[in-house]
Amino acid sequence: MSTKIKINSQIFQDSNNVYYPKDEVEVSDLIRELYKQDSPTEIIGNNSKSFIGNKTQSANTTSLSKISGIIDYRPEELYIKVKACTPINEIEQVLSENNQELAFEPIDFGYIKDGKSNKGTIAGYLSCNYAGSRRFKVGSVRDHVLGFKGVNGKGDIIKSGGTVVKNVTGYDLSKLIAGSFGTLVALTEITLKVLPKKDSSKTVIIYPNNFEQIYDLFNKLSSSSSEISGAVFIPEQSNDKEFSAKRNNVFKFNDLKSKVSFVAFRVEGGKISIEEKINNLKKELELNNSDISTLDVYQSEPFWKKINNLEVFEKTEHNLIRMVIPPANGSKLSKYLENNHNYFTDWCGSLFWIEVNSKKEEKIKDLKKMANDFGGYLTVIKTSSEYDYGEPIFTVDKVRLMISEKVKQSFDPKRILNPGKMYRGV
């Protein structure tokens, strides 16, 4: 284990010895010094998501939280360039004033952490690459990053990409940085593609009878040219009274029946086209004689916020799993999860948020095997206080780990940045 070092510089350090560089030059100076002294550092932003991933094997902590602010926002060019630790709230606010948004619908992990909103910074969010409900239609965080600047593990300031959407100049490092958990560069600047906000939205609720029907609905929804921008399945877990009460409380809406399982899909756009799409979908899904209800825009918007805040798992003290699989295997997975774990399904049958009781931790291994067999993967997003890390929280095969080690080496040869945050050796 490395020892904490005191570097000879002007960089601000608080009473806990956390470094707060104020700009990219200070980040570069700091990392260059740490590189010289072989002394790794944890990299944090506003600490909203630092609970995700392994604990880093480092003695120092560097907070990039002072590197914040909007650099250049061009609504007509559909991009915003910000300093890396600009809060997502601040970005969403300024975009909203111009009727634009981050289309990947950032998840607010504050609710599962401590029961209140804390979206954190864009750098933290990009480092995790976890997109919200609209992902299956618009892409993930990585699909919305046009470029970045940052400091690699040797202290060199590097950049990649630019501000234009069509750019094939050199390797696309923006993709590599997305989801790298701060192990390749300390980000200092990020340019994002932004998109117009949709005029309105409505959500249709269906109360299906069995899993086959649910995944058949998902399949038809994703096969329709009347595009939807969100589709979830929220099961009723009557065997867990506490969770069931919480779930019914979270999804309390005038036009939503409580205490039953439901599928919800969202249609966004102009008001006339929303009606047209819903009518088309009702025909395609053969819903005209089914039990359905519709959430108007005033219910639809808060409904999807609750989904993307993971509010049913608010302040969970258990393990929270994020599993992504090809949607055709969704029905099999749902059958297994029923009566075993609390969960819900997003991304039209691809994404599963699963709560594994801290007393049943050995089940994570089974779930991981299932994820692999289904052609997907899982991540333990939040661990219970008793989690012993016997089962790694990320999924990686031997060859990908070998290549990841090589890539890590090329950015950060001495493993200065967030070592061990993802995998041992990376």
Partner 1 sequence: MSEIALPKIDNSILSKKSEIVKKLSKLTNIGNVLSEADELRPYETDALSVYTQTPLAVVLPENTKEVSEILKYCHSENIKVVPRGAGTGLSGGALPLQDAILLGLGKFNKILEIDYENKCVVTQPGVTNLGITHAVQHKGFYYAPDPSSQLACSIGGNVAENSGGVHSLKYGTTTNNILGVQMVMMDGTICRFGGKSFDQEGYDLMGLICGSEGLLGVVTEVTVKILKTPQVVRAALIGFPSIKEGGDAASEIISSGIVPAGMEIMDKALIEATDNFSKAGYPRDAELLLIVELDGTESEVNELIKKVEAICKKNNCSSLKLSNSEKERLSFWAGRKAAFPACGAMAPDYYCMDGSIPRGKLAEALLEIKKLSEKYELPVANCFHAGDGNLHPLIMFDGNDKEQLRKTEEFGSEILKTCVRLGGVITGEHGVGIEKRELMCEMFNDNDIQQQLSIKKSLDEKNLLNPGKVYPILRKCAEEGRVHVHKNKDKFPDLPRF
Q: How far apart are CA 207 and CA 37, in angstroms?
A: 61
Name the minimum Å distance from CB 51 to partner 1.
Answer: 17
Q: How far is the CB of 306 from partner 1 (least distance, A)?
A: 22
x/- site string to partner 1, residues 9 to 48, per CB under 8 A?
Answer: ----------------------------------------
Strand 292-295 and strand 200-206: the pairing is antiparallel
Question: According to CB under 8 A, which residues from 260 to 289 bind partner 1?
Answer: 269-270, 272-273, 275-277, 280
For the bound state, the minimum distance from the C-beta of residue 329 to partner 1, rounded and expressed in Å, comes to: 9
Q: Please say whether the beta carbons of 422 and 181 come within 8 A.
A: yes
Do 1 and 59 touch, CB atoms closer than 8 A?
yes
Among 31, 123, 178, 206, the residue binding partner 1 under the rule CB under 8 A is 178
Closest distance of CB 347 from partner 1, Å: 7
Nearest to 135 by CA among 284, 360, 322: 322
**Rounded distance between C-alpha atoms, residue 144 and residue 11, angstroms:** 32
233 binds partner 1 (CB under 8 A): no
Nearer to partner 1, 275 or 386 (CB): 275
Shortest CA distance to 237 belongs to which of 361, 116, 353, 365? 353
99 contacts partner 1 (rule: CB under 8 A): yes
Q: Which residues contact 239 (CB under 8 A, 6 or more apart)?
A: 339
Q: How far apart are CA 359 and CA 87, in angstroms?
A: 36
Query: Which range binds partner 1 by CB under 8 A, 42-50, 56-64, 247-255, 346-354?
Result: 346-354
Report DSSP state, residue 55.
P
Name which position in 30, 43, 88, 131 contacts partner 1 (CB under 8 A): 131
Residues in 48-87 at the binding interface with partner 1, rule: CB under 8 A: 74-78
C-alpha–C-alpha distance, residues 377 and 352, integer Å: 11
Question: Pattern of binders to partner 1 over 293-332, x per CB under 8 A?
Answer: -------------------------------xxxxx----
